[in-house]
């Protein structure tokens, strides 16, 4: 899967919004904060997030 714009998550750094491999913001501690950035850019996200800890795409709703 190749998503042009997506969320990325890791346990250490938490949430970040990525576009073509570059961050659109600094790391956010919680999902609501990163979603404010998504709203600012008026982006529609896929239902998956890159899990940096596992090195794979996961369904966003499964990340706690």
pTM of the predicted protein model: 0.92
Q: How far is CA 62 from the centre of its chain?
A: 13
With CA atoms as reference, report the closest residue to 5 among 36, 59, 48: 48
- 3 state SS for 5-54: EEEEEECCCEEEEEECCEECCCCECCHHHHHHHHHHHCCCCCCEEEECCC
pLDDT at 64: 77
Note the pLDDT tens digit of each residue in 11-51: 999 999 999 999 999 999 999 999 999 999 999 999 999 99
pLDDT at position 9 is: 98
The reported pLDDT for the residue numbered 2 is 75
């Amino acid at each position: 899967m190749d998503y042009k714009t997506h969320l990325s998550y890791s346990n250490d750094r938490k949430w970040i919004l990525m576009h073509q491999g570059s961050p659109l913001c600094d790391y956010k501690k919680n999902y609501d904060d990163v979603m404010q950035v998504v709203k600012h850019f008026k982006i529609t996200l896929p239902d998956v997030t890159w899990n940096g800890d596992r090195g794979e795409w996961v369904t966003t709703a499964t990340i706690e």
